[in-house]
A and B are shown apart, each in its own frame.
Chain A
Amino acid sequence: MSISPIERAGDTAGQFTRSLLRIDPLLLLGALGLTACSFVTLRGAGYHSEADKQLMYAGGGLLVALLISRFDYTLLREYRYFLYGLMIVLNLAVFGFHSVNSAHRWIPFPGFEFQSSEFGKVLLIVSLSAFAVERSRRLSERATLARVMLLGLVPAMIVMGQSDLGDALVYVVIACAILFFLGTSWKHLTALAALFVVSGAIVLGVAPALGLHVLSSYQLQNLTTFINPPATCNATANSTGYQLCQGLIAIGSGGKTGVGPVHATQAVFGFLPAPDTDFIFAVISESYGFAGAAIVVSLYALLIWRTLRIVTMSKNLYGTLVAGGILGWFMFQVFLNIGMTLGIMPVAGVPLLLLTYGGSSVFSTFLAIGLLESIHVQARTASAGKARVLIV
């Protein structure tokens, strides 16, 4: 434990105020700004109750995040087995409940549906980082790479079993990000990358040719359509292509300043698929144009910049890995979702952080923000302690 003796001596109330003062205000500002954008967009598109609920989830998430920031995240290392186990159990539990569109993703609670894979991301980051820290002294061993990767791949396979390809990829990316910031040698990373390329080629190309379908045909279509989009927006030909194309029409027709939420016919008249979730960025682009989209993208840039900064600040390796895992998660989801809407990335169905309507996703994101703030507070406190020691 690395809490300084001076801190320990202070009274609790002062400690809380001090830790509040030591949070990263810009990170919080980014998260709150995006929440506000989500609220405005959802209301504008006619999703009034969703907008209100979204605000409620975000409010709850903010409180929890502030609470977490007050605690030392390093404590979580002790509970790594429990947290990892919890993640596996939660992700397996969804199979016991009814499916929606042949996908098992939710555990129904009275009043809300709990999406395990979203919480699983936070749990995976904190537990996997802890396992990685344990192996940090045996970095050159292949087993380190294999173990960490395996611990990431197991839940990823479970999530893929839930028909949630996007979130499964997020799990893999988190594992890779942790390995990357752990300091895994370039040689190992290259081998890992080569492994991904080969398995990707097998899943997308060789296996279907041999009649073995790892991915469902619609998942395959989702992944490949953006490379060869259909020439016309025809609803019957290729549903993925139709959705992408309608999304592009929405974005393009927004122009520089947008057509306003009332005249956003692509969203209001139902041409955009999932305007409150996967395609919400297209709604923003149509209603508020390049200006609105640029504000949102800038807020993400802010969020990612601050997260990157926290990676560098962390007082210990565990903090670096947790922040790095979160960074990988955020970057991957933002780029995959916006890239999909813009037609430059495959359709993998990941939510857009904080903008997409959904309690589990918003809440998990705020949990991550809380962890980041905790790392920030701890780092600031540690450096302040060092400084004070120096002065004294």
Chain B
Amino acid sequence: MTPQLALRVAIVGSLALIMFAAIFFRLWFLQVLSSGQYTAQAASNIIKHVTIPAPRGEILADDGTPLVTSAEVPAVEIAPQSLPVPLNLSDIEAHPGSQPAKDYAVYSELAKLLNISTKPQSCKFIIYYTAGPKQYSPRLAQIPCLVAQGIANSQYANVTIKTDVSQFVYDYLQERLSIDPRLQGVVPTEVYLRQYPYYQLASQVFGYVQPLESTEVHDPNFKGANSSDVVGQTGLEYEYNQQLMGTDGYEAVKVNSANEFQGYGKEKPPVPGANLKTSLDLKLQQVGQRALAESIAKNSYAGANSGAFVAMNYRTGAIYAMGSLPNYHPSTFTHPVSDKTWASLNSKASGDPLLNRAIDGPLPDGSTFKVITATAALQSGIWSLGDTYNDTGEYVFDRNEPCTVPGNCLHNSGDGASGVVNLEQAIQVSDDVFFYNLGDLLNQGDELQVWAHRYGIGEPTGVDLPGEASGVMGSPAYVRSLDEQEKECETATGIYSYTNGDGVFSAKPEAGLHPSPLQPNGCGIALKGGTSTWGPGDNVNAAVGQGYDEVTPLQLAVVYAALANGGSIVTPHIGEDVQTASGTILQRIDPGIKRNIGINPVYLNAILEGLHAAAQSPGGTSYDVMGSFPRTVYGKTGTAQVGTDEQIATNTEADDAWYACFVPSAKRPIVVVVSVEKGGFGDVAAAPVAREILSQWFLGRPGKYVTGTATTGKNST
């Protein structure tokens, strides 16, 4: 062997050595150092998890009666990946308006079986891209539309075509599935459906459930939910979704690279959701709802169309009953909701049945507010116990001008005059002129606003329900902020949307937004140009729960609870505890007392005296309703003028009726607030409902409907 060959052999030998070293190092790295990662990937290659939905927990009454339950019902789904021509997101993107003919054969077979229309109609769905959502609206028959919507929402999940199918159809599908190629991709299954044994009872309080949408996945209340899960969208269902939802299980299926079934893997059973025990009293809830409906019906001649009530433990804030009318049947949402139904559920014409008026949609509460004015007047020292006021039937702002000058004079409701009254008597007869005077006196400082805030007006009560309104306490600062919004809106160049209680408006026409109908007069948030100013008249209005004042029934219940319990602001709550199916308590719900407003007990007693006289002494505003009730009742009527300034001035719009009351009791403490929109006088429309609730609570029966006749307690100009 020549030296040259020896060198070259050595070079090749070294190359081989390097080569084998590289192979060994790489093998060691892959098989020893990174083995775990690859083992997991190999497992995920063959194991596909099929979600087993967890049954949702029940919502229970205080005595354990199930109010909302879950039941397993037969359903039919389509697995888009298993159709004769498998479908995924890219197929839908490429051909939003058509799907393969072989799949249509399956759809038409299924449509026949389930009695679903095959007529094409407009089908809307949104596909989310990193650049943003893109809406598609092709014309598709119902089943392909559901499939397209399902894939757009979550491309690997099965699409529910129909729940609650008959057992016959379910059995038929189970039997035919393996032998009938026209049913390829159809999955007969069982799903849990929300059941409502008491139908529309407390529907806004419970809320409804719907499948998780792709826009909702980041909501902390939906953490851990799978794309196929049904989640609480409103009410307690939303608030306690984490507890009620449970944890889905899965069935592990082994598949090969062609996704063909190869066997079963480990199964993880679902963990059912926990039950939510509430403080709701089933009987009280039923009675309240029925009485409110009766009152609305009786007063519909005046325009009554909606209302709300709250019954609450004034010491703990536990809510015994809460209702809002009109309401809806939550089972509407256990099936896909058509656009038409959805629009109707959200329209003013049908009375906004989804709105929980007890916590949302705050309104002026009229004379029920007077207890706050009284507290502020006494505590600030501008009024002393024993001081009297001579009510001549009119309150004059400028004594040098006659009452013919518009806005210079305010009158009592019914235009009567009470003569010389003290504070207790003023509360008893709901003397407006007396409180106008207090409002005027209090305008020297901000004591009215300070005490209103202490009572919780203008802030959410913190009840365990979503969508609670804060309400409004009129003040110079609030008027300034409205002016600023008005200016901002009027000078806006782009889309400017705002709500003034009537919906969303825009300074410029825009899809989905409308130019303000008040455009010629500005945006309608405040006076045109943002020129509103706070004057004594505003504080006078505020003193009787009018003007800017906006309060929810629940907020008012908290105010009267504070009067009943000696000044503590409670945190209202419906949930009592979260418990397992067998009753083991997992979580207690006791938000406790927020604060004490620090009212002088002597002043409090004077107010209570007035409230008791108003309810149960002859001459009191609700005496004809509450006078005969066999318990000590403290109650105040409210008759609030609503509508535009013009409507109020001409008195052409029916008033909102309010009633707030409580009955001291060591064992069964209760505060009740009732509001009937456009119900007229508080004593006529609201107090009778409160009486039935109190009667059911203390006597175990609602008693008969006692109609009030008192027409005082209304603020009028």
Contacts and interface: CB of A to CB of B under 8 A. Distances in A.
Contact of A265 (B12, B16, B31, B45): B45
B23 interface: yes
B8 A290 contact: no
Interface string B1-40: 1101110110011011001101110111011101101110
Interface residues of B, number: 37
Nearest to A273: B257
A286 B43 CA distance: 13
B31 A290 contact: yes
Given A255-B31, A327-B12, A249 B41 contact: yes
Interface string A274-313: 0000000000011001100110010011001100100110
Contacts of A256: 31-32, 35
A294 B24 contact: yes
Contacts of A339: 22-23
A338 B13 CA distance: 18
B648 to A, nearest CB: 66
A46 to B, nearest CB: 12
B31 A342 contact: no
A271 interface: yes
B46 A269 contact: yes
B45 A271 contact: yes
Contacts of A252: 30-31, 34-35, 37-39, 41-42
A312 B5 contact: yes
Contacts of B16: 301, 304-305, 308, 331
A281 B408 CA distance: 100
Nearest to B37: A252
Given A269-B255, A271-B45, A308 B12 contact: yes
Contacts of A285: 27, 30-31
A251 B39 contact: no
Nearest to A252: B38
B1 A312 contact: yes
B258 A270 contact: yes
Nearest to B19: A335
Q: Which of A233, A252, A254, A269 has the most CB of B within 10 A?
A: A252
B20 A251 contact: no
A253 B4 contact: no
A180 interface: yes
Interface in B30-77: 30-32, 34-35, 37-39, 41-42, 45-46
A248 interface: yes
A392 to B, nearest CB: 25
Interface string B236-252: 00000000000000000
B19 A312 contact: no
B23 A251 contact: no
Contact of B8 (A181, A254, A338): A181
A216 B586 CA distance: 65
A330 B34 CA distance: 29
A331 B35 CA distance: 28
A253 B42 contact: yes
Contact of B41 (A233, A268, A290, A301): A233
A108 to B, nearest CB: 29
Contacts of B4: 183
A342 B27 contact: yes
Interface string A113-127: 000000000000000
A169 to B, nearest CB: 16
A268 to B, nearest CB: 8
Contacts of A74: none
B256 interface: yes
Q: Which of A249, A300, A311, A344 has the most CB of B within 10 A?
A: A249
A166 to B, nearest CB: 17
Nearest to B28: A290
A290 B32 contact: yes
Given A269-B262, A344-B22, A253 B35 contact: yes
Contacts of A293: 27, 31
Given A252-B34, A252-B35, A320-B5, A331 B23 contact: no
A225 interface: no
B20 A297 contact: yes
Interface in B254-276: 254-258, 262
A294 B32 contact: no
Contacts of B22: 339, 344
A270 B9 contact: no
A297 B27 contact: yes
Nearest to A298: B20
Interface in A30-76: none
A194 to B, nearest CB: 18
Contacts of B19: 331, 334-335
B31 A289 contact: yes
Contact of A311 (B9, B27, B35): B9
B32 A297 contact: no
Contact of B42 (A249, A334, A338, A344): A249
Contacts of B34: 252
Contacts of B35: 252-256
B30 A342 contact: yes
A342 B15 CA distance: 18
A269 B32 CA distance: 23
A265 B38 contact: no
A285 B23 CA distance: 12
Contacts of B41: 233, 249, 252-253
Nearest to A335: B19
A41 to B, nearest CB: 16
Nearest to B47: A265
B26 A344 contact: yes
A287 to B, nearest CB: 12
A268 B4 CA distance: 50
Given A285-B30, A311-B5, A311-B9, 18 more contacts: A181-B8, A233-B41, A250-B42, A252-B34, A252-B35, A254-B35, A255-B31, A255-B35, A255-B39, A269-B254, A269-B255, A269-B257, A270-B256, A289-B31, A290-B32, A293-B27, A312-B6, A342-B26
14 contacts: A183-B2, A183-B4, A246-B45, A249-B38, A249-B41, A249-B42, A253-B42, A255-B32, A285-B27, A294-B24, A301-B16, A308-B12, A308-B16, A342-B23
Interface of B: 1-2, 4-6, 8-9, 12-13, 15-16, 19-20, 22-24, 26-28, 30-32, 34-35, 37-39, 41-42, 45-46, 254-258, 262
Q: What 4 A-B pairs have minimum CB-CB distances, sorted nearest first?
A: A252-B38, A269-B256, A253-B42, A270-B257
